[in-house]
Amino acid sequence: MEWTAWFDAPEYEFARQVLQRGIATIYFVAFLSSLNQFPALLGERGLLPAPEFLARSSRPRRPTLFSWRYSDRLLRAVCWGGMAIAAAIVLGLPQLGPPWVPMLAFLALWLLYMSIVNVGQTFYGFGWEMLLLEAGFIVAFLGSDQTPPPRTILILLAWLVFRLEFGAGMIKIRGGREWRDLTALYYHHETQPMPGPLSRQAHLLPKLWHRMEVLGNHFAQLVVPFFLFAPQPLAGAAAGIIIFTQLWLVATGNFAWLNWMAILLAFAAVSDPVAHALIPAIAPDWHASAAGVGTGTAAGATAAGSQAPVAWLVVVLVATVLLVVLSYRPVENLFSHYQLMNAAFNRWQLGNTYGAFGTVTKQRIEIVVEGTLDTEPDDTADWQEYGFRGKPGDVRRIPRQWAPYHLRLDWLMWFLPLRTVHEQWFYAFLAKLLEADRPTLRLLRHDPFDGARPRWVRARSYLYRFTTRTEFRATGQRWTRIPLHESIPPLSLPPGD
């Protein structure tokens, strides 16, 4: 049975370490983000309360631990439990045992976080949520330090990167004309959901550079992913290009953990010799030199020609077959004229399709929320602006770097002018401001009333654009903004509330 040796990929031990520890780190951040934000957004007294969502359907469409009962205390327990498991994986503790130990750890992360996502409604309706879930499930079968990395799982991780990159590339080619005439980056750095500290500098680069950015993006997303399945060192070079382009996106924006996930997953195509050639401190035969390799017998007898126990090899092959079967719909979608973006085809969110920014908005419209303590809410009232943590507001403030942390409220604020400002959650948010609700106010950077209740709140629309270098030198402002209209007129609580 020496043919079973093909399933072992000991030359990818460095990749396994990066994948397991890196994705566990992202899970830690995801649970931390939920711990800090979920109760205010979706908790028992949240903007879109999860108990009400669950009550509307006695049988939730997707599985969640909260289908039996939701409470903020249970939510916090899930988050703390997920963070503890993720931290253990980052430290490498489950990896010291038999391969089923890290498998169970990652499957626990997958199930716990899926329970949160499946009651998260619009606040968890982002493509990187399902990407983290799918990646966590696949990485669960990478094994432990006692066994070599399974080759089929590494190929499936490369396939996940392919779907992520090629899907995004196809969405762009089929989307707005700006991607085909190479002008998309004239606007994107300025109009993206949450700019970072370098976004303005990127926006002010010459237009020729922006056109080269688009060409580079098309090459990285439509050509390079095919080489992830090529022999080394071509596969490693393809992964390097993807990592480089994703690092540029990290430097110029805030897309939660999307770019970091792409970077981590790309390591599935980086062998130890390739990593050693770039960083000599990385051993070219990491797995072979690791202590105790090949001595694990926890899962049963070992197949001839393979260091992986037979029972573990069977588990890996079952998972591989399952994921290959679930890949049919994503493949069909990639080549469909009606390509879906960020869609799950099953309730377990495995075998998903990905993609982003099929069109680029040309102008940045921001919804600014204001309140006043005055009795009459006219233009003579002293209207004070609420400050958000990530989204643009103060025209002098440098945008902050938040990724991979996810500011869910700020992200949804970006969508309001693109869809409609009359969202249920937004009216609930305004009501919470009128109540001076402490959990809601903690989601903000600045409360102009220091915890006091305003009499009125309103929402106004502004056109934002980055200032030029000349304008910045003259005014010290990083943004200039023009008032457009009153999106929601002044609102107050009913008398007696």
61, 103, 175, 193, 237 from 360: Cα distances, Å: 32, 40, 9, 11, 29
- Closest residue by Cα to residue 287 from 395, 483, 149, 169: 149
Tokens describing residue 128: 């990187």
> What is the reported pLDDT for 60?
57
> What is the reported pLDDT for 58?
61
Give the pairing of strands 384-385 and 364-372. Answer: antiparallel
- Report the pLDDT averaged over residues 367-377: 96
Residue tagged 């200039």 (tokens): 480
Helix (H, G, I), strand (E, B) or coil at 403: coil
Q: Around Cβ 58, how many Cβ atoms within 10 Å?
A: 7
Q: Are 425 and 440 in contact (CB under 8 A)?
A: no
Confidence of residue 376 (pLDDT cuts 50, 70, 90): very high
Q: What is the DSSP letter of 255?
A: -
- Report the pLDDT averaged over residues 324-344: 91
Tokens describing residue 2: 């020496």
- Report the pLDDT averaged over residues 483-496: 93
- Report the pLDDT averaged over residues 185-205: 97
* Percent of all residues in the chain with a pLDDT value above 70, rounded to a whole number: 94
Whether 61 has a pLDDT exceeding 60, the answer reads yes
CB-based burial, 292-302: b 16+ in 10 Å, e otherwise: ebbebeebeeb
Q: Are 54 and 66 in contact (CB under 8 A)?
A: yes
Whether 287 has a pLDDT exceeding 80, the answer reads no
Whether 188 has a pLDDT exceeding 90, the answer reads yes
- Report the pLDDT averaged over residues 306-315: 85
- Closest residue by Cα to residue 199 from 467, 404, 463: 467
Confidence of residue 293 (pLDDT cuts 50, 70, 90): very low
Q: Around Cβ 172, how many Cβ atoms within 10 Å?
A: 24
- Look up residue 21 and give its amino acid: R
